[in-house]
């Protein structure tokens, strides 16, 4: 009788247990993203996250050709410093560090703790300080929004869900198990992880645009940057297969957010485009009337 019930059967109890765990884990680890106010799932402390960021940063720098000085380093540190200052009201206490890596990669990154690196390959695409501010504002926003920690939490959930599904399918024949687990893997990749990653990119675009506007850079350079990026990335996969929104989507979103960004810049900067010590009265980004679309 045991064999007859087990063979070809589906065990419901692992799924029920996972559902209980999911509810507890999700609601007991809620945080709020600065600026956008979006609720997010994060299960490690700031200190743990910053320690991991510093470890990764030092490892990357030790394996890279770090530019020790020169015009590129000066510009990156000047632009990064202004954006960090513009984000001071949501800065959790990062120790900002800006380095330039000599590499043809069209890339930049920011890790928890305020550890930022810009690759020389992206500088011609950035083209000017305003374009560089769009790049660095985006990367700095990833760190401030704790996107890395949130991604780790969701990957952990997917691993637990896969384990529960594997136990639930344990009574089925091996070919059926493989087929269902394969379908679940594809579904989680295209239905959860990739859309989730694109949401992070959109949120970082939005926050970065606000930060560069507060820092008195020209927000109108952001869509121009992505027009230049588009010329660099011909043959990119379709959006639903990518971790990032398409260049066309990003350009459209920046144009939709532009009136809000220009108004913020006007309020935070003096008539000559210099950063004011305090924003003009009435500045409230969260209640600006604009909502991030993700």
Residues classed as catalytic: 139
Distances (CA, A) of 98 to 5, 101, 118, 291: 62, 10, 8, 30
Six-digit token string for 59: 């490892």
Residue identified by tokens 């949501």 is 90
Residue 275 DSSP symbol: B
Distances (CA, A) of 120 to 42, 71, 96, 237, 262: 33, 12, 19, 25, 29
Residues near 265 by Cβ (< 8 Å), separated by ≥ 6? Answer: 213, 214, 216, 218, 219
How close are the terminal C-alpha atoms of the chain, in Å? Answer: 52
- Return the CA Rg of the chain: 22
Residue (of 91, 25, 94, 102) closest to 60 by Cα position: 102
Q: Are 29 and 42 in contact (CB under 8 A)?
A: yes
Identify the three-state secondary structure at position 252.
Answer: helix
d(CA 221, CA 227): 10
């Amino acid at each position: 009788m045991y064999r007859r019930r087990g063979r070809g059967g589906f065990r419901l109890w692992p799924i029920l247990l996972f559902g209980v765990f999911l509810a507890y884990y999700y609601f007991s680890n809620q945080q709020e993203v600065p600026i956008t106010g979006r609720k997010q799932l994060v299960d490690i402390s700031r200190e743990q996250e910053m320690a991991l960021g510093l470890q990764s940063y030092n490892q990357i720098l030790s394996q890279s050709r770090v530019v020790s000085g020169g015009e590129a380093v000066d510009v990156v540190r000047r632009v990064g410093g202004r954006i960090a200052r513009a984000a001071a009201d949501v800065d959790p206490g990062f120790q900002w560090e800006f380095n330039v890596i000599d590499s043809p990669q069209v890339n930049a990154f920011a890790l928890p703790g305020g550890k930022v690196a810009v690759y020389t390959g992206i500088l011609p695409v950035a083209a000017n300080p305003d374009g560089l501010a769009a790049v660095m504002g985006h990367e700095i926003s990833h760190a401030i929004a704790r996107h890395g920690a949130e991604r780790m939490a969701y990957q952990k959930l997917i691993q637990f869900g896969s384990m529960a599904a594997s136990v639930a399918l344990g009574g089925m024949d091996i070919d059926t198990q493989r087929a269902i687990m394969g379908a679940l893997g594809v579904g989680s990749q295209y239905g959860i992880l990739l859309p989730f990653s694109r949401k992070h990119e959109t949120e970082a675009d939005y926050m970065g645009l606000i930060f560069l506007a507060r820092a008195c850079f020209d927000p109108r350079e952001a869509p121009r940057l992505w027009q230049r990026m588009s010329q660099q990335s011909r043959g990119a996969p379709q959006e639903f297969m990518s971790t990032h929104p398409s260049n066309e989507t990003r350009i459209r979103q920046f144009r939709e957010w532009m009136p809000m960004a220009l108004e913020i810049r006007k309020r935070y900067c003096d008539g000559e485009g210099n950063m004011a010590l305090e924003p003009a009265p009435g500045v409230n980004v969260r209640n600006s009337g604009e909502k991030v679309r993700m």
